[in-house]
Structure formats: C-alpha cells, structure tokens
Structure 1
Amino acid sequence: MLQAPGGLGRRALVVRRADRVVRHARVQLALKGAFAAAAAWFVAARLLPDDVATYAYYAPLGAVIAIHPTVHRSMTEAGRNVAGIVLGAVIALLTEAVLGVSVLTVALVVAVGILAAGMRWLGSQGAWVPTAALLTLVVGSSDQQDYVLAYAGLTLMGAVLAVGVNLILPALPLQRSARSLTDLRDTLARELDALADYYCPPADSTSRTERSSQGHLDHLLGEMRSAVRESGEAADANRRARNKRETLRGLHRQAQALEQLGFLVQDLGLLLDDHDCGGGSLGSAPQVRLPAAQALRALANAVRAVTAGRSDVDLTATATDAVDHLATTLRAHPPDAVSHPDLLVTGTVVTALRRSLTVIHRGDEDDQFRA
C-alpha cells in the first residue's frame, strides 16, 4: 500500500526534530551521565564484595560528579572531588582519634572542613571537604577506615567510568560557540548602526536603531568567552577534534577579533554618551555628520560580514574608504568655537574606526601568514 506524501513529510519532520533533540549538548550530557551512573551502580552493587556493595550508592554519585561536557573538565573535577573527600576523611579521622565523637567534634570537623574547602586548587569541589568529614565522623563511626576506603574508592570508580564514557563519546560543542559568536557579531554591528544614528538620525524616528545596554554587551562577551573556552577544552583528548581543527581555529580567530572589536565599540559608545551628557550636540557640525554616519554604517556592514575571523574584502574596503573620507572632511573643515569640541570627538571616532579596521584586517593577514 502506498504511503501518502503527507505522511512521509510528517515522518521526516518528526525524525528531524528527534535528531535535533538528541544532538543537543544538554541531552547528550544527560544520556552519558545516566549511562555512567547506571554502569557504576551495576558494578558496585553486583560485582563487588558485599561489605563494599553496602556503600554502592557512592559509585553513581562519583559518576554524576564527574560527568561534564568536556573530557578535560571531567578529569579535573573528578580528581578534585576525590581529593576533597580524602581531605575531609583525614580531618574526621584525626579529630575522632584525638577527641572522639561528640557534639563538639561534629562542629569542629565541619568548621575545619569549611576552612579547608577554601583552597583554590579544589575549586567548586571544595564543598565536599566538610561533607566528607561529617559523613566519615558520623555515618562511618563504627568502622571509619573501611568506610573511607569504600567512600573514596567507589566515588573514584564512578568518576573513572564517567571519564571513560566521555572519552568514548566525546562532546565537541561547536554550535554553542558559533551561536555566541554570531550573537555578539550582530549585536556589535547593530551598535555601530545605532551610533551612526547619533550623527544622522533617520527621518522616521521609529526606524532608529536601539542601543544595546552596557550590561548586555558584557553578557554577550562573557558568554562568547565561556563557549569558546569550552570548545577549546573539549578538543583535548578528543578524537572528533582531529577533523575539526580548521573550524576550531576559525572560532578562535573570530573570538579574538570580536573581543577586540567589542572593547572598541564599547569605548566608542561611552565617548559619544559622555559628550552628549556633557551638553555637546553632535549636530553642530553638519558637514561632518553625514560622513561620520556613513563611516559607522560601513564599518557595521564590514563587522556583520566577518566569519571565522576573515573579512569580506569589498565591504572592508568600502569601510576603509568611508573612514578615509571622514578624516579628509575633518581636516578640510575649519573649526570654530561652536563646532570645535564636536570635531575633537569625531577625530577620536576616526581613530577608533581605524583601530577597528586594523582588527578586521589582522585576521586576513594571519591567514596569509599561515598560507
């Protein structure tokens, strides 16, 4: 019996959506974490001696602690966690040997554990120091040495299984990096368009480009740094990264260029804001307003076209010509008492625009050097 075309289309749509869900980084992390925890529980509860299997729940706990998006972070966090557990256990064992178990020693091991948790090399896993100290003192008081060995050993086993799962099925979160870079690039381009409207506001006020807040730009810069750093970490000990080296290099080139452009655009916005708030009017030099707006919009188009750290040659050339024209106009414009402050500000704008173009050109020069 023939399948209706509509049925085939719906089935293909469902398959595409399911594939998109399964490929999502968080879904993949959840599946790997679930598998590692289940495997750790099976090994601890079914394959180890009964006296150790009593504490089998620590094995999946170790797997959950160690499962992270990248192999590098999994190994780092697993090592820190086990070190924190051992340190907390040592604090509890020494305290119990000297003072026994009492209300006082419970308070003491927690206090010492919290102090020890502040050591930088433990990172976020420092919280396990007072936890391990308290559990060793109270839960494992009947047989502390065996408890510590089971606690630390099973947690380590679960962590090793989680790291192994990450090694076999490594993640390479390139989509998050690409998305964060695109968001930042487009936002910087819109910001330049908005700054152009400072010089030449459009006739229709509703079509004026809105400025981004300083906090929003800072957030996008932070998100970009985090995503690109995660991609770099994910490439370590990752067999999938061998075929993505050029993509990774492009991400890092793009990140370097956009970070520098981000600082320049932010400084440019602050400059114009300070001048405006100080009583200056960017409209007092009409011969300069249009070339300034054109240069800003041309740079916005050039920034919008930057991909993998490489520029669009034509758009970058257009932006360079526009900035040169603005500089020529400034030199030809005779300053007076009214327009002089505005011309000084616009001269600083020219410098910022040229520095931005230098950043864009640098990515192309790096490519030529590698070639």
Structure 2
Amino acid sequence: MRSCLPLSTAGSFPDDLRHRMRLAWRAGAATAAAWYLATLVPGVVGDYPYYAPMGALLVCYPTVVDSLRQSLRALTATAVGVGLGAAAVHAAGATWWGVALAVVLGMALGALPYLAPQRDTVPLAALFTILVGAVDPTGFMAGYLGQTLLGVAVGILVTVVLPPPPQNGRASRRVTRLRDGIADHLHEMAAVLAEQWPPEREEWIRHRHDFEPLIDATREAVVAADSGRRANLRARSYRIRGQQLYEAAQTLEQLAVLVRDISTVLAQTAWAERTVLVLDPDLRRPVADAMSGLATAVGSADLLHLARGPESPDGDTHTRNLAAARDSLDRVTERLDGAAAGWEDSLAASGIVLHLRRCLDHVQAGPSDRSPDLHPAAG
C-alpha cells in the first residue's frame, strides 16, 4: 500500500508549474512581438509603444477560448479607463482629487459583470491617462488605445498560431491521484479492521476529509482540459480523450462519496458507547477481505475502465480483480444471511457491505448517473 500522504496536496505543484511555464513562454513571445511591432508604428500612436506589450499580456490565458473571450473585455476596460482619465483631466487636471475620483469610479465600474475579469485594468488605464497623458490627452488616448489594440491582436495571433496543448495529461494525473487515494483509503480501513478492535491509531479517520479538495482539483483539471480543446487547432484529436476523462472523474467522485460514508460508519463502530452501530467480531475479517479486494480492483482500473469503455478481456488483470472482489462480497453477504447475531451486531456490517457493492458496481459499469456528452457537436 502506498503511503497515505494528504490527498489534497500530493504531487500538485509540478503539474501547476508545468502548466504555468507553458503560459509564460507564450506570454513572452507575445509581448516581445508586440513590442517590436509597436516600435515600427509611425505618428502619435508610435510615441507610446510600451502599451502594446501590456495589451498582449492582457489576453495571455491558458486556453485559446479564454484569450478570445477576454480580448474584447480587455479593450473595453482600457477604453473605459482612458475615458475616465480624460474626463478627470478635463475637469480637474492632474490633481490629487482628480486622481482619487478617477480611481474610485474605475474601481466601481470594474464591478460590472462584463468587466469583472479585467476589473484592475479600468483604474490603471485611468491613472496612466492622468499621470502620463495630461499634457496631450487626445494624443495619449489615440496612442494608448491604438497600441493596446495592436498588443491584443498580437496576443491573440500568438495564442492561435502557437496554441497550448490540451491539459489532458494534467487532468489524467489528477484522475489517477484520486483513484489511488480512494484505493489507499480502502486498504487502510481494511488493515484497521484486521487489527485489534477498537483500533489504537486514529489517523485513518481524518483521511476521509481529504477527498473533498482532491475531488475539486480533479473536477477543475478536467474542465480546464475540455476548455483547452475548444478553438484549439492542436486539439481536434483530443475530443474522445476529454470525454473519457470527464466520465472517469465522475465515476471516481461517486466512489469517493461512498468510501467516505464507509469510513464514517467504521469510525462510529469503533466507539460503540456513542452509537447503536456495532460490528460483530466474526464479521470483521470477512468485511476487511472484501474491502481489500475492492481496493485492489479500484487501483487496477485505468481510464477506460472508469469511463465505462469497452469490456476488458477475461484474462485482464482488472477483470480478475473485479471478480475476486465480487466473490469476497458474496461471501460476506452469505455470512450476514446466516448470522445468528442480532440486528444491532450486523447493522454496521450490512451498511458497509451495501456501500462496497455499490462501489464495485460503479467501477464495473462507470458513472451510474451519466451527465450529457461534453461534446455533443461533431468536431
């Protein structure tokens, strides 16, 4: 069994750094190209070349679709800020209260839903207009807006010509991490059941709280991978893979909820004086075997298995693990059916076995409440 590190943080930094560096290379190329072209622009617009790389940077987002969406917002926010700054210069000149008024209004307008992603651009553009363009507001407005438009165009062109690869690898690693976390926790609970009861160690109880942040991280990575496919010339062949990642993440999310419930029931049975739930000593070892068998089956499931892909061949390792886990559950069910203990002693075991069987069904059949296809349209 792998060591049970905190599920929410294990291994996430390398993925985030790799993803950020891809964005950094594109941003560097876009700003450099924008600066070079800006220095070639003649007339009054060419007097303000430094706003072109700023415009390029405003539209450098992780996906092509986000860059296209934010380009209009960036231009609108810049134009609004420049307009505020020009109005402040006309009304009060480059004075302290003119600066305060422009910033207050710019911050307020940045709260509009359409401008919210570029909320900081509005007051900054107003400040630049007052502090830099007070001598020649008209020329400054033409230069600022013209160079920003040039930078935005260059940023979009670089993003379209050099699009980032879809983040399927990152999403796949998050899916694998969630799968391994579920398998590890099942193995850990099986080991606890096989030890002296009630268990002496308690760290396994806290691990059930680690699933929520990892589920959120997996969901975010899968959605980001799908967003990276749209309008991306490099991603036409990634459609099926993205759907498989989505379905695998959905299956694992359902598994995580069930495993967390199992952990809660098991924790309650460890201190019988606090609950009516108790666990018949004769059932602990069979339940532990069934739990361990399910953990092995979960750990051997790949992306296609979790996404309810084509059935595996009979000799496949995962198929054998599924069959062994089901046999273990059947044996526990037979023990429960023939148990002489009262309902209080078998209630906890029955609940745990029911959840284990539901987990096994999810692993074998994929997401039971399948959401609509992420990519209903062709292409």
**TM-score, normalised on structure 1?**
0.80
Instruction: Find the residue that maps to 2:231 and give its secondary structure.
Output: coil
Distance in 2 (alpha carbons) for counterparts of 1:103 and 1:342? 77
Q: CA deviation at 1:152?
A: 3.1
Q: Deviations over 1:317-356 (max 9, x none)?
A: 32233223323322322333xxx54532222222322322
Within the candidate set 339, 357, 360, 2:360 is matched to: 357
**Partner of residue 114, structure 2:** 121
Distance in 1 (alpha carbons) for counterparts of 2:287 and 2:245? 31
For 1:169-248, list aligned pairs within 5 A.
Answer: 169-171=162-164, 172-201=166-195, 213-214=207-208, 216-248=210-242
**Partner of residue 348, structure 1:** 351
**Partner of residue 147, structure 2:** 154
For 1:298-317, list aligned pairs within 5 A.
Answer: 298-310=293-305, 312-317=318-323
**Partner of residue 111, structure 1:** 104
Instruction: Find the residue that maps to 1:49 and give its secondary structure.
Output: coil
Question: Is 1:31–2:25 an aligned residue pair?
Answer: yes
In the alignment, residue 144 of structure 1 is paired with which amino acid?
P
Q: CA deviation at 1:267?
A: 2.6
**Partner of residue 254, structure 2:** 260
**Partner of residue 328, structure 2:** 322
Q: CA deviation at 1:275?
A: 4.1
Please identify which structure carries the higher helix content.
1
Question: Is 1:56–2:49 an aligned residue pair?
Answer: yes
Question: Is 1:335–2:341 an aligned residue pair?
Answer: yes
Within the candidate set 52, 55, 62, 1:69 is matched to: 62
In the alignment, residue 360 of structure 1 is paired with which amino acid?
V
In the alignment, residue 348 of structure 1 is paired with which amino acid?
G
Q: CA deviation at 1:185?
A: 0.8
RMSD: 3.2
Of stretches 97-106 and 33-42 in structure 1, the one that deviates more from structure 2 is 97-106
CA contact (8 A) 2:107 2:122 kept: yes
**Partner of residue 291, structure 1:** 286
In the alignment, residue 153 of structure 2 is paired with which amino acid?
V
CA contact (8 A) 2:93 2:134 kept: no
Closer/same/farther in 2, CA of residues 264 and 151 from structure 1, 3 Å limit? farther
**Partner of residue 6, structure 2:** none
Q: How many residues align?
A: 341
Distance in 2 (alpha carbons) for counterparts of 1:230 and 1:139? 39
Closer/same/farther in 2, CA of residues 137 and 179 from structure 1, 3 Å limit? same
Closer/same/farther in 2, CA of residues 143 and 260 from structure 1, 3 Å limit? farther
Instruction: Find the residue that maps to 1:266 and give its secondary structure.
Output: helix
Instruction: Find the residue that maps to 1:219 and give its secondary structure.
Output: helix
Q: Deviations over 1:265-306 (max 9, x none)?
A: 223223333443564698851221112111211111121122
Closer/same/farther in 2, CA of residues 366 and 315 from structure 1, 3 Å limit? farther
Q: CA deviation at 1:202?
A: 8.1
Q: CA deviation at 1:248?
A: 2.1
Q: CA deviation at 1:313?
A: 2.7
Among the aligned pairs, what percent are the same residue? 30
CA contact (8 A) 2:279 2:348 kept: no
Alignment gaps of 5+ in structure 1 = 1-22
Closer/same/farther in 2, CA of residues 152 and 303 from structure 1, 3 Å limit? farther
Distance in 1 (alpha carbons) for counterparts of 2:191 and 2:335? 19
CA contact (8 A) 2:45 2:146 kept: no
**TM-score, normalised on structure 2?**
0.79
Alignment gaps of 5+ in structure 2 = 1-16, 307-317, 374-379
Closer/same/farther in 2, CA of residues 198 and 100 from structure 1, 3 Å limit? same
Distance in 1 (alpha carbons) for counterparts of 2:330 and 2:145? 67
Q: CA deviation at 1:206?
A: 12
CA contact (8 A) 2:278 2:344 kept: no
Q: CA deviation at 1:175?
A: 1.8
Q: Deviations over 1:168-224 (max 9, x none)?
A: 122222221121111111111001111212321289x99999566355323322221
